[in-house]
Amino acid sequence: MATKLVLRGIRKEFGSTVAVDDLTLSVEEGEFLSLLGPSGCGKSTTLAIIAGFEAPTRGDVIVDGRRINDVPAQERGIGLVFQDYAIFTRMSVFENLSFGLRVRGLGRVAIEERVGRVASLLHLTEALQRPSVSLNMSELQRVALGRVLVLEPPLLLLDEPLSNLDAAIRLTLRTELRRLQQELRQTVVYVTHDQIEAMSMSDRIAVMDAGRILQIGSPMEIFDCPQSRFVATFIGDPPINILPASLTTVGGHVVVRHGGLAVAFNGAQAQAALTGQVEMAFRPTDVVVRRDSSSRAAFEMVVDLVEPLGSETVVHLRAMDTAIRAVVPPAFAPRVGERVGVSIPAERVHLIDAASGIVVR
């Protein structure tokens, strides 16, 4: 049975430092939600408050309608995996994985079945009889993760659990963890600074900075409709293009311009941005690049650098003081020094208020 989690007005102070500031969040039953942000943004502190290792300065932690602020961590029934592994080094891998199940009094057959399943998921089957002291860092982290997964807790907190793993295993576990979570209908709060992990695994993402949630939504909502400069720049690889821009009115249209690169909106679309300095922002995947730059809508730029990435190619383009990135198909095969025509569809351009950093369109 999955658990619903509600955080209401959470604030956490360490002396004069505010680590979490008025954080309110609801995680639905069976939802996989990621707290995404840079180091020091308050996401791990938030997780520690949910787990009961830190007490909020004010605010409420509510699980299935029950306020649990005063419930000790060991009585909350929450599964927790930290980035730093915590296992019994004098036990074998099997003994570590089965420890919690033995404490609960499960029978031998049930224990072996659960341990075997989790060991297979974490690529630990061949290591089950090995002493934990002989494991490398990647194996230790997987054992620590397995000790919690084998208990199948209804609410699971994961604090960057894949960061110590090899790239290939990390990629596999992203998929398998998500599959297991959906199968068990667990409610998961996942802390990460890795946008790829958050985008690929989450039902929703809460982007944090300076102790606050700046935006919460599905991965594609966060990617396509960022609400601030911070969110726009933190999500996306290659990074979003952001250029200082000027606004002029031409007929019934507002033209947003950076140097020779211009995008025309109708007046209503850009009205909110007319009162201050703006920036224009657009994803590299939304840049249209053509070899024929004669079109009136195209801005001529020169290919400065080419990064072939297999399924796509990132092209760095330059013209005078304007530099942007574009993503093109590998078959386009641009050459350094080649002149191309560039345009950006108006519906894919965000306008950012330069003073506040808020997206106004």
The predicted-structure confidence for 229-275, as pLDDT tens digits, reads as follows: 999 999 999 999 999 988 877 776 778 888 878 888 765 555 555 55
Residue 303's pLDDT is 96
Paired strand residues for 113: none
Residue 231's pLDDT is 97
Residue 293: pLDDT band by 50, 70, 90 thresholds?
Answer: low
| pLDDT tens-digit series, residues 130-162 | 998 898 877 888 888 889 889 888 899 999 888
| Alpha-carbon span 288 to 342, nearest angstrom | 6
Residue 296: pLDDT band by 50, 70, 90 thresholds?
Answer: low
Q: Please indicate whether the domains covering 5-234 and 241-353 agree at the CATH topology level.
A: no
Name residue, tokens 């400069």: 229
DSSP 3-state of 231: helix
Residue 321's pLDDT is 84
Contact between 225 and 198 under an 8 Å Cβ cutoff? The reply is no
Least confident stretch, 41-50, 133-142, 205-214: 133-142
More confident residue, 47 or 84: 47
Q: Which residues, including other chains, have CB under 8 Å from residue 346's CB and lie 6 or more apart?
A: 263, 264, 265, 269
Given 3.30.565.10, 3.40.50.170, 3.30.70.100, 3.40.50.300, which CATH number is that of 5-234? 3.40.50.300
Contact between 198 and 191 under an 8 Å Cβ cutoff? The reply is no
Tokens of 101: 């199940």
| Sequence spans of domains, the chain | 5-234, 241-353
Buried b (16+ CB within 10 A) or exposed e, 140-173: bbbbbbbbbbbbbbbbbbbbbbbebbeeebbeeb
Q: Is the pLDDT of residue 2 over 80?
A: no
Phi, psi at 12, each rounded to 5°? -135, 125
Q: Which residues, including other chains, have CB under 8 Å from residue 74's CB and lie 6 or more apart?
A: 52
Given 3.30.9.100, 2.60.120.650, 2.40.50.140, 1.20.58.220, which CATH number is that of 241-353? 2.40.50.140
Q: Is the pLDDT of residue 304 over 60?
A: yes
Contact between 189 and 112 under an 8 Å Cβ cutoff? The reply is no
| pLDDT tens-digit series, residues 15-24 | 999 999 999 9
| Alpha-carbon span 164 to 187, nearest angstrom | 23
Residue 223: pLDDT band by 50, 70, 90 thresholds?
Answer: very high
Which amino acid makes up residue 354?
A
* Strand ranges for the chain from DSSP E: 5-14, 17-27, 32-36, 58-63, 66-67, 79-81, 155-159, 187-192, 204-209, 212-217, 241-250, 253-258, 261-266, 278-282, 288-290, 299-308, 313-319, 322-328, 339-343, 350-353
